[in-house]
Amino acid sequence: MSWLLIALLAVPALTAALLWALPAGTGERVAAIVGSVISGLVLIGSGVLWWKLVRPDGPSVLTAGDLPRTLPGKVHGYAETDVSWIPSLDVRFHLGIDTISMPLIALTALLVFLCCLYSLRITPRAGRMRSLIALLLVIETGVIGTFSALDLVLFFLFFEVVLIPMWLVIDIWGDDHDRAGRRRAATTFVLMTVLGSALMLLGFLLVHRLTGSFDIEYLSSHPWRSSGGTGLKAALLIAVGLAVKMPLWPLHIWLPDAHAKAPTVGSVLLAGVLLKLGSYGMIRILLPVLPGDSATIAPYLGGLSTVAIIAGSLACLAQTDVKRLIAYSSVGHMGFIGLGIATMSPEGLTGALFANIAHGIITGLLFFLAGAIKDRHDTSDLRAIGRALYARLPRIGGLLTFACLASLGLPGLAGFWGEMLVLLGAYHPGNLLPRTTFLVFMVVAGIGTVLTAAYFLRLVRNLCQGDPAEYPAAAFAVDLSRIELIAWAPLIVLTVFLGLWPWFLLQYWTFL
Amino acid sequence: MTMTWTDWQAIAVPLVLALGAITVLLADALWRTGSKQVRHTVITLITGAAILFGLAFIAVQRNSVKPAFCRPAVEGPAQCSLVFEPLTVGLWAVLLIGGLGVVGLSAYRLLDVDIPVGEYHFLLLSALTGATVLAGARDLATVVIALEVVSLPSFAMVALRRDRRGSEGALKAFLVSVLSTAVMLFGISYLYGVTGSLYLQTIVTRLPAIDPDLRRVAFAAGLFVIVGFGFKIAAVPFHGWLPDTYAGAPVEVAAFLAVVSKSAGVGGLLVLVTFGVAPSGSSLRTVVCILAALTMTVGNLAALRQAEAVRLLAWSSIGQVGFLLAPLAVGDAQAAVGYLAAYVVVTLGAFGAVAVVQRHRPAGLLTDYRGMVRSEPGLGVALVFFLVVLAGLPPGLAGLFTKFAAFQAVLDAHIGWLAAVMAVNVMIGLAVYLRWIAELFRLPADDPFSVDIENPAVAVISTCAGAAVVLSILPSTLFALVT
């Protein structure tokens, strides 16, 4: 039993329950403070857990050469809790972390903390802060639970925990101007994800039929090696379920609306952590448990990912709404992550894991900035916002340029390393994969990076630059406020830090 | 034929229920002094005591097997008409808990004043008698008689309020039921003709060995029996009567129909499929699979379009039964009974909540529930929880794991297409309940719903919510009902 990990799961959920139990008046007033304190504690807890995992005399696998390069995604569990839960269904309550999941847990804790901090001052127009903060905390439990579940059914369960809270966040606090639109966006999001996760569950059940176990730790050391037949069906079902969440083209259709209509904190969490549930699931479950069948579907996965990179970038070039643009850019970036996973090579997987974290940080920052711009102009339409942000909101304009550059993969910032490693992985795909195909993917994805640069630079040009005389500053448009600076500073610092010292994370994944 | 001690034990529960039924009828008819409240309370207590006896009996005897009314067979073991065994225990537990919940929902001040109390409880206990016998029945004659004993009181209950909608609903249900009994008897007569026996146990041993020329007759006969049950449990395409009947009946009676009557039908079908007409490998099981797929899809799709709470619950109960038919079709009694148990608990709770709201807002529209999570937090949160369990999403783990077991049963039987249909229906079902949950979470309207809820209603709804929470934390209890 590891009480620390269980506390990371239980504390946010219990705090949410406590907030709802408070009388409405008090609850509204203290919600953001309680949320910040508790999510801050969770962040500290996850930091402690991380340290315990990687400390020099600790249990983790740190340096290359200590272990042979084993299966990608194999669990080297730490802080495990493993108790029988539903014996008749062979379901265990099995939690644990390793160096693949720990950074994602920390990222989740960080982003939820920043969202709560941000909500101290900046609140959506719908109010009801008590419920909003409580739902954010429930989402935190669900996401951290998904990242630490070592039982397929438990993974599925935590995967689903997130759905209804996120649906409520989009539906209640979403875009004020478009009631029907936000409801439709929320419902599309929840229904597509539920269908995907139901299919994923079918895949898990097929895995259980083949191997007789739901335990990820057991399965990753006793994988189903043969390919074809039921195993292939299982791999396809799991891949489709996770691809909806990730989302992989053409299953991404829920994403632009959901991200664009969600309130700022909702968009940040959706893009920053929820999408990672899909990519994490592929690395944690699909590759290690069904290696043979994963190799069968990997070229298709890589192909669709490459299409996602190009399609996402082209869609971005056509967007006139800043939030939708960033949402579509996520499709492209998640395409890179998908391609990295599909290469099944150490470089590709490491790149995918790194890009996961980098995308969470950078896109989190981008959505914060987009939210700030939207709040100041009461619209996210680029044409209505006008140009010359450098003149009107110099600090926010500068930060937006910084985040765009990070997102397009400028060397020296966090976005660069993941995509570079993914391309490198596509150059040396896993042994079982057709190399020529992946070389083509690499070239096409390379063109995608150019397109990414094009649309981000276009965004900067259309939004930040321009003649200030033509676009006078609105009276209420104040520049960067203190709370925004505090909430965003960690993301900015991390973007630079991971860009300059990627080894900080990469060192944990040398065993892949 | 003399009755042995085992026979008496096996029918103790139905017998006590029947005696209770007569007692409440007589008590109400003969005892005219005393206030209405006292009479109502006494009748509720007698009814509750009869049901509690049943629950206590199965709690004590849950591990025993009591074949009753047996006679030696020509070949093989003795043929029995009623068997008390673990499956019976599971079904009886579900039926009796459902019955008890309905009694709680029909306490004084909750039940409509126009409804005669004695008759109501008499009919309820009679139906429960039939339902318990049906769940233990192991020969076709007993099955038919027990099914009629469940059905006839149900129509009377629908019509008890004696208004136009009630009469219309009762008449619809009655006509459909008569038709379905006729169809079923037709099938049973053929089945008897083919196998020469009414005992399920004998039928199941003789069916594989019958003359190949008679195979098709046997298939048709089994089909007719299943279709007969299809009418009773409102499986699509035999579901047309259900929504109007639910909407026409008082809410308590609708709860009774959705919980007790439906569970009885499902229990009977489960017994028939697993023990009798459709042994493993029979093509009749495919028929049940198709019924399941149709029922869940049509039920959920129609539920999407409903604007009234009771009609939404009516259609979604069709969808739920479709889901339930899936493990039933592959003969997985454990998954089916577990699903039924979770369904019964939360359906009772949901109908309890609807009854509270409908007493104050008779229109019963979904929009009447707007903002209830804030204006009436206890009831609102409980209702949200019931709906989430029905949808099968966290935190409603009772619903999630029973759906999970259903998936597992279907996949283990290698019926991939049905599993895919079920996956799609998880999505449609969620869409159905989300519409309602969205109303509950909206900001309260100008005139938010906030009332003093009657104590018995509070008790029943919170018991259901408590039970649903416990079942969500320990889902294995659901699957321990049938061991």
DSSP codes of every residue in B405-419: HHHHHHHHTT-HHHH
| Rounded CA separation A326/A316 (Å) | 8
Taking only the tens place, the pLDDT of each residue in A189-219 is: 999 999 999 999 999 999 999 998 999 988 8
Tokens 């309550």 sit on residue: A93
**B470 in reach of chain A (CB within 8 A):** no
Q: Is A164 within 8 Å of B400 when comparing Cβ atoms?
A: no
Q: What's the rounded Cα separation, in Å, for the pair A358 and A329?
A: 14
- CA of B425: which chain A residue's CA is closest? A195
Evaluate whether B370 touches B307 at the Cβ level (below 8 Å).
no
Q: What is the pLDDT of residues B166-219, one digit of tens each?
A: 888 888 888 888 888 999 999 999 989 888 888 888 888 888 888 888 888 888
The pLDDT of residue A65 is 47
**Number of Cβ within a 10 Å radius of residue B162:** 11
Specify the pLDDT at position B24.
92
The C-alpha of A204 sits at a distance from chain B's nearest C-alpha, in angstroms, of: 10
Half-sphere exposure of B118 (CA within 13 A, CB side): 14
What residues pair up with B80 in beta bridges, in sequence order?
A: B70
Which residues of chain A does B393 touch, with a Cβ-Cβ cutoff of 8 Å? Answer: 160, 163-164, 194
Distance from CA of A194 to the nearest CA of B (A): 6
- Is A316 in contact with A329 (CB distance < 8 Å)? yes
Q: What string of DSSP letters covers B257-275? A: IIIIIHHHHHHHHHHIIII
What's the mean pLDDT in A443-452? 92
Cross-chain Cβ contact B404/A153 below 8 Å:
yes
**Enclosing H/E stretch for A379:** none
Cβ-defined contact of B404 to A201 (cutoff 8 Å): yes
Contact list in B for residue A142 (CB cut-off 8 A) is 394
Distance from CA of B421 to the nearest CA of A (A): 10
CB contact A195 to B (< 8 Å): yes
Tens-place pLDDT, residues A409-438: 888 899 899 999 999 999 988 888 888 999
Q: Is B476 on the interface with A (CB under 8 A)?
A: yes
Q: Helix (H, G, I), strand (E, B), or coil: what is residue A132?
A: helix
* Contact between chains at A202 and B423 (C-beta distance less than 8 A): yes
Chain B residues within 8 A of A172 when measuring between CB atoms: 441-442
Cα separation of the two ends of chain B:
32
Position B256 scores a pLDDT of: 93
| Residues B293-303: b if buried by 16+ CB within 10 A, e if exposed | bbbbbbbbebb
Sorted by sequence, the CB contacts under 8 Å of residue A11 that are 6+ apart come out as A38, A41, A42, A45
Q: Cα(B440)–Cα(B368) distance, rounded to whole angstroms?
A: 9
Q: What is the CA radius of gyration of chain A?
A: 22
Supply the pLDDT for residue B67.
86
Q: What is the pLDDT of residues A304-323, one digit of tens each?
A: 999 999 999 999 998 888 99
As given in the structure block, the two tokens for residue B161 are: 């309020």
Pull the structure tokens for residue A420.
């570079």
Q: Does B186 touch chain A (CB under 8 A)?
A: no
Give A226-248 as a 3 state SS string.
CCCCHHHHHHHHHHHHHHHHCCC
Please report where in the chains the tokens 């979470």 appear, as a residue: B441
**Cβ of residue A161 closer than 8 Å to a chain B Cβ:** yes
pLDDT at A474 over 80: no
Specify whether the CB–CB gap between B242 and B314 falls below 8 A: yes
**Min CA distance, A280 vs chain B (Å)?**
21
Rounded Cα distance between B227 and B263, Å, is 17
pLDDT digits (tens, 9 = 90+) for B256-270: 999 999 999 999 999
What pLDDT, on the 0 to 100 scale, is given for residue A473?
A: 64
pLDDT at A401 over 50: yes
By Cβ distance, the residue of B412, B424, B437 closest to A195 is: B424
Closest by CA to A256, choosing from A322, A184, A327, is A327
Q: Which runs of consecutive H residues, i.e. helices, occur in A263-381?
A: 264-269, 275-281, 287-289, 291-317, 322-343, 346-377
What pLDDT does residue B406 have?
93
A479 touching B (Cβ < 8 Å): no
Quick check: A17 contacting B, CB < 8 Å?
no
Structure tokens at B54: 């049943």
| Residue position matching structure tokens 């009388």 | A23
Q: Which of A157, A171, A205 sits opposite B438 (nearest CB)?
A: A171
Q: Which among B394, B430, B441 is the nearest to A190, CB-wise?
A: B430
Cis, peptide link before residue B237, omega less than 30° from 0: yes
The span from the CA of B373 to the CA of A244, in Å, is 31
How close is the nearest chain B Cα to the Cα of A10, in Å? 14
Q: For residue A215, what are the β-bridge partners?
A: A151
Q: What values do phi and psi take at B482, rounded to 5?
A: -120, 120
Task: Tell me the average pLDDT across B330-342.
Answer: 91
Q: Work out the average pLDDT over A122-141.
A: 89
SS3 label, residue A474: coil
Report yes or no: B42 at the A interface, CB cutoff 8 Å. no
- How large a percentage of chain B has pLDDT more than 90? 49
Higher pLDDT, B341 or B80: B341
pTM, two decimals, is 0.93
Is residue B160 a contact partner of residue B115, using CB atoms and an 8 Å limit? yes
Tokens 């209640």 sit on residue: A172
Q: How far is the C-alpha of B13 from the C-alpha of B57, rounded, in Å?
A: 7
Provide, as residue numbers in chain A, all residues whose Cβ is less than 8 Å from the Cβ of B415. Answer: none
pLDDT confidence bin for A351, thresholds 50/70/90: very high
Helices (H), A386-434: 389-392, 394-407, 414-427
User: Which one-letter DSSP state was computed for residue A472?
Assistant: P
Please tell me the distance from the alpha carbon of residue B9 to that of residue A503, in angstroms, as a whole number: 75
Using the beta-carbon criterion (under 8 Å), do A160 and B400 form an inter-chain contact? yes
What percent of chain A lies above the pLDDT cut of 70?
95
Q: Does B444 touch chain A (CB under 8 A)?
A: no
Q: Tell me how crowded residue B84 is: count the other CB atoms within 10 A of its CB.
A: 26
Tens digit of each residue's pLDDT (9 = 90 or more) over A49-66: 998 888 877 665 544 444
Asked whether B7 and B68 are in contact (CB, 8 A), the reply is yes
* Mutation choice for B interface testing from A201, A204, A208, A251 by most B CBs within 10 A: A201
B334, B405, B427 member nearest A198 (Cβ):
B427
Report the distance separating Cα A336 and Cα A308, nearest Å.
8
Q: What is the mean pLDDT of residues B408-412?
A: 91
Partner B contacted by A172 (CB < 8 A): yes
Q: How would you classify the pairing of strands A91-97 and B66-71? A: unpaired
What are the structure tokens assigned to A505, written together? 């994370």
Identify whether the C-beta of residue A160 lies closer than 8 Å to the C-beta of residue A197.
yes
- H-state helical runs in B330-454: 333-360, 372-375, 377-391, 397-412, 416-441
Q: Is the pLDDT of residue A405 over 50?
A: yes
Sequence-ordered alpha helix ranges (H) in A152-285: 152-161, 163-173, 179-211, 216-221, 230-245, 255-261, 264-269, 275-281
Residues of B in contact with A157 (CB under 8 A): 394, 397, 400
B4 has pLDDT over 60: yes
**Measured between CB atoms, does A184 come within 8 Å of chain B?**
no
Average pLDDT of span A455-463:
89
pLDDT the model gives residue B65: 86
Q: What share of chain B is helix, strand, coil (3-state, %, to 5)?
A: 75, 5, 20
B404/A183 touch (CB, cutoff 8 Å), yes or no: no
Q: Which of A379-393, A428-442, A466-480, B458-472 has the lowest mean pLDDT?
A: A466-480
Q: What's the maximum distance between 2 C-alpha atoms anywhere in chain A?
A: 72
Q: What is the ipTM of this complex?
A: 0.91
d(CA B92, CA A459): 67
Sort residue B236 into left (φ over 0), alpha (ψ -120 to 50) or beta. beta
pLDDT for residue A221: 84
pLDDT at B371: 85
Share above pLDDT 90 across residues of chain A, in percent, rounded to a whole number: 54
Mutation site, A182, A194, A233, A240, interface B, largest B CB count within 10 A: A194
Q: Which band of pLDDT confidence, cut at 50, 70 and 90, is reported for residue A98?
A: confident
CB < 8 Å to B480, chain A = 88
Size of interface A-B (CB pairs under 8 A): 81
Cα separation, B474 vs A460, in Å, equals: 54
- Where are the extended beta strands (E) located within A48-162? 78-86, 91-97
Backbone angles phi, psi at A86, to 5 degrees: -125, 90
| Cβ distance of A198 and B423 shorter than 8 Å | yes
Residue A436 contacts B where some CB pair is shorter than 8 Å: no
Query: Are A176 and A141 spatial neighbours (Cβ–Cβ below 8 Å)?
Result: no
3-class state of residue A298 by DSSP = helix
Query: B407 and A209: CB-CB below 8 Å?
Result: no
The alpha-carbon gap from A153 to the nearest alpha carbon of chain B, in Å, equals 9
Torsion angle, alpha carbons of B256, B261, B266, B268, to 10 = 150
C-alpha to C-alpha distance for A121 and A44, rounded to whole angstroms: 22
Using a CB-CB cut-off of 8 Å, the residues of chain A touching B411 are 202, 205-206, 209
Q: Report percent pLDDT > 70 for chain B.
A: 99
CA gap B199, B209 in Å, rounded: 16
- Cα dihedral A346, A351, A356, A360, rounded to 10, equals 160
CB contact under 8 A, A198 and B397: no
Q: What is the mean pLDDT of chain A?
A: 88
Q: What is the mean pLDDT of residues B414-429?
A: 93
| pLDDT > 70? residue A68 | no
State yes or no: cis peptide before B116, omega within 30 of 0.
Answer: no
Find chain A residues with C-beta within 8 A of B427's C-beta.
191, 194-195, 198
For helices B397-412 and A152-161, give the axis angle rounded to 10 degrees.
140
pLDDT band at A71 (very low <50, low <70, confident <90, very high): low
Residues of chain A in contact with residue B400, where contact means CB-CB under 8 angstroms, are 157, 160
- Chain B contact present for A139, CB below 8 A: no
Q: Does B301 touch chain A (CB under 8 A)?
A: no
pLDDT at A64: 46
Using a CB–CB cutoff of 8 Å, tell me whether B386 touches chain A. no
Give the angle subtended at the CA of B394 by the CAs of B389 and B396, to the nearest 5°.
25
pLDDT one-digit tens code per residue, B341-370: 999 999 999 999 999 998 888 888 888 888
- The answer to whether residue B448 neighbours chain A at the CB level (below 8 Å) is no
State the smallest CA–CA distance between residue B316 and chain A in angstroms. 17
Q: Please give the pLDDT value at position B215.
A: 85
Q: Name the minimum distance, in Å, from the CA of A195 to any CA of chain B.
A: 5
Cα separation, B472 vs B29, whole angstroms? 44
Among the partner residues B394, B411, B424, nearest to A161 by beta-carbon distance: B394
Mean pLDDT of chain B: 89
